Each structure stands twice: as C-alpha cells, then as structure tokens.
C-alpha cells in the first residue's frame, strides 16, 4: 500500500503516486487485470465485474502492490477502442477497488480515460505509448499527482511487430524514454512521479527482449526506477518452446534476471509465484556477508 508522502526530493527511492508514495528499495509488483475480450493471455476471463474484483483481491493477498487495470488490449495486432468503451469496461471495477482502498494503476493511452480514473481514485497511470499517442495524459498526472509509467513502443500495437530491427536498441529506447520524461516534466510532473518501462514484447524481437533485460542497468542512467513486463510474453515461448499457459518459469526467470540488473517494478499475471521468487532473490541480495 502507498504510504504518506515525505517532502519531495528527500528520498531518491520514492515513487510519488496519487495518495502517497511507494518505496522502490524493494521489488514492487503490479498484478495484471485485463478487462478486455481480446488480450493475448487472459482476454475474456474478467469481463464480469464480480469476477474481476475477486481476482484483484486475490492478487493483493498474494503480494501485489498495485492492480494494473486495462480496458484496451495492447497485444500485437490489436485494434484500438474508443474512450467511452474503454471506460465502460473498467469504470465500475476501478471505482470499487478504490473504494476498498486497493491501489490501482490504469493501463491507458487516453487522457480522457486517465482523468476519469484518477477522479475515481486511481493512484497510477500506465501509458504504453510513453505520451506519444496523447501527450495531454501527462497533464492529468501532473494535476492529480498520480504516478506515471512511461513505456517504449515503436509504432502502435497493431503495427509494432512489423519492424523489430534496430541499429542500437538500448540507445534508441533510452533516447525515446528520455524524451517521454521531458514531455512529462514540461507538463508539470515531478520526476519522482515517473517510472520507465523498456517495453518488452512491444516492437522487439526475441533477441531484442533479452537485450533489454540484460541492459536494465543502462536504463537506470535515466534516473528513474525501471519496470519490466515479461509476463507470459511470446519471447519466452520461443526460447523455451512452450505455449502461453506454460510460461510461468520463464516469466520468473526473466523477472529475477531483471531484478539482478536493477529493475524494481514488475508487471505480471502470476503474482504469488513471482512474489516468492523476487522475495527470495532480494533476500540473497541484501543478506549481510
């Protein structure tokens, strides 16, 4: 749960969110709650609000720090939906989770959806476009004090896998994320509100996804905590030759590898298993020797 914020600038490990702050001195987990009919892994599983709320509560019990609610699929090839339909899918669940005191992150690229979400009590906005699709979303974060996750995405979800070749993947990702940070700060966001995400699985090849995990340490040069979202992604399936429902071990391996290189925020479907793995890896990292 977020705690009351200390004075801005006194703690380099704080992530300011609406209603308080999270400390990134330990691994944080965003539990994925897709309220879409077409997400790649769990599409259609949580379209009933009662089922969605039960799943969210279970993920909190399993160790999630926030619930990341999405109403528009960002799987490869996915078509966009309009803002009213996106809010129709998520509004009741967002409002009820906030009423119960559950920290909520909203996976959206639309400022109008973001506004309704923070007004309903959402703590964090998670923009997979890094403010490219709707720069006004940064103003919503600035005005509300919501945390803001900025992700790298080449193209759109519909087109992103058509060109996954880069001359300098890490360099390009860092440059674009740097511009996203500048856009957010220009809109009035404090840097402590920001988390960056290299966009594993979003316009990258299998090798590129591995390079991003291996290069997390370089991403830290941007001065903000790094989030990774490898959960059940296709690169795991290609490397291990397993279908979506057999990618748990690969997800855990990717998360622990990213943790060792400096990532501190993790967006996953399988909360309890990843929580236990990260907690064990963290205990090893912090034990006195």
Q: What is the mean pLDDT of the chain?
A: 92
**Among the listed residues 18, 55, 50, 17, the one whose alpha carbon sits nearest the alpha carbon of residue 34:** 55
Q: What is the mean pLDDT of residues 67-71?
A: 96
**Among the listed residues 88, 86, 54, the one whose alpha carbon sits nearest the alpha carbon of residue 73:** 86
Least confident of 12-16, 96-100, 110-114, 201-205: 12-16
Structural domain span for residue 233: 14-284
Res 68: pLDDT:
98
Residue 266, domain member (yes or no): yes
**101: alpha, beta or left, given left = phi > 0 and alpha = psi -120 to 50?**
left
Find the catalytic residue in 55, 115, 267, 275: 267
Q: Is the pLDDT of residue 12 over 60?
A: yes
Structural domains in the chain (count): 1
- CA dist., res. 145 & res. 159, Å (int): 32
Q: Is the pLDDT of residue 79 over 80?
A: no
What does the pLDDT look like over 191-241, one tens digit per residue? 999 999 999 999 999 999 999 999 999 999 999 999 999 999 999 999 999
- CA dist., res. 272 & res. 31, Å (int): 10
Residue 2, domain member (yes or no): no
Find the catalytic residue in 110, 204, 233, 247: 233
- CA dist., res. 232 & res. 244, Å (int): 6
The sign of the CA dihedral 250, 202, 176, 116 is: negative
**160 or 197, which is more confident?**
197
- CA dist., res. 156 & res. 134, Å (int): 13
> Catalytic site residue 233?
yes
Residue 1, domain member (yes or no): no
Residue 164, domain member (yes or no): yes
8: confidence class by pLDDT, cuts 50, 70, 90: low
Q: What is the mean pLDDT of residues 151-162?
A: 80
- Backbone phi and psi for residue 273, each to the nearest 5 degrees, phi listed first: -70, -45
Beta bridge partners of 194: 148
**Among the listed residues 231, 242, 243, the one whose alpha carbon sits nearest the alpha carbon of residue 197:** 231
Q: What is the mean pLDDT of residues 48-57?
A: 94
Res 289: pLDDT:
56
Residue 41, domain member (yes or no): yes
Q: What is the mean pLDDT of residues 137-161?
A: 91
Query: What percent of the chain is predicted at pLDDT more than 90?
Result: 82
Res 45: pLDDT:
61
Residue 88, domain member (yes or no): yes
Q: What is the CATH number of the domain that holds 272?
A: 3.20.20.20
Residue 263, domain member (yes or no): yes
- CA dist., res. 280 & res. 160, Å (int): 35
Q: What is the mean pLDDT of residues 176-191?
A: 98
Q: Is the pLDDT of residue 152 over 80?
A: yes
Res 122: pLDDT:
98
Residue 4, domain member (yes or no): no
């Amino acid at each position: 749960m977020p705690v009351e914020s200390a004075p801005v600038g006194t703690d380099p490990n704080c992530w300011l969110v609406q209603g308080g702050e999270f400390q990134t001195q330990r691994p944080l987990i965003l539990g994925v709650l897709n309220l879409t009919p077409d997400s790649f892994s769990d599409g259609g599983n949580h379209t009933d609000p009662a089922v969605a709320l039960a799943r969210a509560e279970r993920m909190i019990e399993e160790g999630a720090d926030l619930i990341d609610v999405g109403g528009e699929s960002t799987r490869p090839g996915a078509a966009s939906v309009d803002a009213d339909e996106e809010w129709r899918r998520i509004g009741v669940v967002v409002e009820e989770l906030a009423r119960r005191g559950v920290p909520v992150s909203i996976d959206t690229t639309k400022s109008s959806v973001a506004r309704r979400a923070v007004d309903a009590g959402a703590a964090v906005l998670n923009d997979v476009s890094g403010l490219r699709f709707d720069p006004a979303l940064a103003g919503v974060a600035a005005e509300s004090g919501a945390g803001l996750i900025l992700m790298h995405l080449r193209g759109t979800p519909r087109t992103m896998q058509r060109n996954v070749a880069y001359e300098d993947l890490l360099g390009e990702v860092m440059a674009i994320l740097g511009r996203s940070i500048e856009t957010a700060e220009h809109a009035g966001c404090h840097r402590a509100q920001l988390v960056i995400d290299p966009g594993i699985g979003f316009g990258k090849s299998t090798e590129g996804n591995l390079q991003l995990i291996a290069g997390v340490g370089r991403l830290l040069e941007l001065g903000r905590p790094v989030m990774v979202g490898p959960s059940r992604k296709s690169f795991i399936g290609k490397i291990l030759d397993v279908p979506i429902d057999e990618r748990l071990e690969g997800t855990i391996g990717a998360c622990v590898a990213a943790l060792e290189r400096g990532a501190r925020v993790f967006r996953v479907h399988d909360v309890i298993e990843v929580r236990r793995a990260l907690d064990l890896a963290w205990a090893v990292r912090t034990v006195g020797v």
